[in-house]
């Protein structure tokens, strides 16, 4: 009995080491499933997939070390030129909440590579929902290419752009625009790393060129849930989100007419430092 207890403590010691960064180190044991681990720690699977940059929750090998956040939330690595105000906007959060979660003050300066913790409870993407259509903005950024006919950024010839391009730096969080079921979470040609969500009204939304996918095919997601990070995979000339709204007849629609007023959601007329367009 005593040996069993000592052995349990020994495993616990090696499995769980609370780090100063707000994460717990977990050593995957034979028979462990990520679904069970997140249930035991009362976490969402997307949180763990995002933190560990895992794309397949079913393929955890024994001996792998993963990290679990002590509190539900996401980490963001500070990029050159970032301010607290900008990071708060990326997560649809209040600066004060981010300062509190990271023990920062208004006089604190950020440094490149600093890891900020954004508690899930502070993210208010859904506050920006269009009450008529039920869609919310999937990302905070600058619209770099609208829906419709345009000059193709690669060939220069006229082509139809089936979505909205929102330019923002790599690593910015991408949120589900509406409740639904993920029906595709994989690399898809020119779309790069791509997520397709089927909504309960028959419509679909597509999120392309991601740098990481934090959901899996078959997963139910809620509006405002983090599904991945912005990137430039596939046919893209710079980091941006290609966002499509597809109606129940499989017709792409102009997302602008389904989203809430863009007045507070992105910055127009900002100098183009991120690079434009893509697919």
Which is nearer to Zn ion, 117 or 191 (by Cβ)? 191
Per-residue burial over 135-146, b if 16 or more Cβ lie within 10 Å, else e, is: bbbbbbbbbbbe
Which is nearer to Zn ion, 163 or 192 (by Cβ)? 163
Q: What whole-number distance in Å separates Cα of residue 257 and Cα of residue 244?
A: 12
Question: How many other C-beta atoms are found inside a 10 Å radius of the C-beta of residue 51?
Answer: 18
From 26-34, 112-120, 162-170, 256-264, give the range in contact with Zn ion by CB under 5 A. 162-170
Q: Which residues in 205-244 contact Zn ion (CB under 5 A)?
A: 242
Question: Which residues 6+ apart lie within 8 Å of 269 measured at CB?
Answer: none
Which is nearer to Zn ion, 104 or 276 (by Cβ)? 276
Which is nearer to Zn ion, 71 or 151 (by Cβ)? 151
CB distance 26 to 67 below 8 Å: yes
Give the binding-site size for Zn ion (rule: CB under 5 A). Answer: 4
In DSSP notation, 165-233 reads EEE--TT-EEE-SSSEEEEEEEE-GGG-EEEEEEETTS-EEEEEEEEEE---TT-EE-TT-EEEEEB--
From 106-114, 188-196, 225-233, 271-279, give the range in contact with Zn ion by CB under 5 A. 271-279
CB of 164 to Zn ion, least distance (A): 7
Structural element, H or E, at residue 119: strand 115-119
Three-state DSSP at 158 gives strand
Closest residue by beta carbon to Zn ion: 242
CB of 208 to Zn ion, least distance (A): 7
Show the tokens assigned to 2. 């005593």
* Nearest in space to 185 (alpha carbons), one of 206, 164, 162, 165: 206
Q: What whole-number distance in Å separates Cα of residue 46 and Cα of residue 67?
A: 13
Q: Which residues in 177-206 contact Zn ion (CB under 5 A)?
A: none
CB of 191 to Zn ion, least distance (A): 9
**Mask for 105-144, x = binds Zn ion (CB under 5 A):** ----------------------------------------
The yes or no reply on residue 165 touching Zn ion (CB under 5 A) is yes
CB of 27 to Zn ion, least distance (A): 41
CB of 163 to Zn ion, least distance (A): 5
Which is nearer to Zn ion, 223 or 242 (by Cβ)? 242
Which is nearer to Zn ion, 117 or 140 (by Cβ)? 140
Show the tokens assigned to 54. 């895992």
Q: Which residues in 240-259 contact Zn ion (CB under 5 A)?
A: 242
CB of 161 to Zn ion, least distance (A): 6
Q: What whole-number distance in Å separates Cα of residue 91 and Cα of residue 126?
A: 11
Which is nearer to Zn ion, 181 or 276 (by Cβ)? 276
* Nearest in space to 140 (alpha carbons), one of 171, 109, 178: 171
CB of 253 to Zn ion, least distance (A): 14
CB of 198 to Zn ion, least distance (A): 20
Q: Which residues form the interface with Zn ion (CB under 5 A)? A: 163, 165, 242, 279
């Amino acid at each position: 009995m005593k040996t069993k207890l000592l052995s349990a403590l020994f495993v616990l010691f090696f499995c769980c080491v609370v780090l100063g960064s707000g994460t717990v180190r977990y050593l995957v044991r034979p028979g462990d499933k990520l679904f069970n681990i997140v249930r035991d720690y009362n976490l969402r699977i997307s949180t763990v997939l995002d933190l560990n940059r895992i794309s397949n929750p079913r393929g955890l090998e024994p001996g792998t070390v993963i990290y679990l956040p002590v509190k539900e939330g996401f980490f963001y690595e500070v990029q050159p030129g970032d301010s607290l105000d900008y990071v708060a906007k990326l997560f649809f959060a209040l600066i004060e909440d981010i300062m509190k979660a990271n023990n920062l003050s208004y006089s604190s300066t950020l440094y490149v590579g600093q890891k900020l913790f954004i508690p899930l409870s502070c993210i208010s993407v859904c506050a920006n929902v269009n009450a008529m259509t039920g869609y919310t903005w999937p990302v905070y950024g600058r619209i770099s290419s609208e829906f419709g006919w345009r000059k193709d950024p690669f060939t220069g010839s006229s082509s139809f752009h089936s979505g909205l391009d929102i330019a923002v730096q790599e690593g910015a969080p991408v949120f589900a625009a509406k409740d639904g079921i993920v029906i595709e979470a994989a690399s898809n040609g020119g779309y790069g790393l791509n997520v397709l969500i089927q909504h309960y009204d028959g419509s679909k939304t597509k999120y392309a060129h991601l740098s990481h996918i934090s959901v899996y095919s078959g997963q139910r997601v809620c509006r405002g849930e983090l599904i991945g990070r912005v990137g430039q995979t596939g046919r893209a000339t710079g980091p941006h989100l290609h966002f499509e709204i597809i109606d129940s007849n499989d017709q792409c629609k102009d997302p602008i007419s389904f989203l809430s007023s863009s007045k507070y959601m992105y910055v127009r007329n900002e100098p183009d430092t991120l690079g434009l367009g893509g697919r």
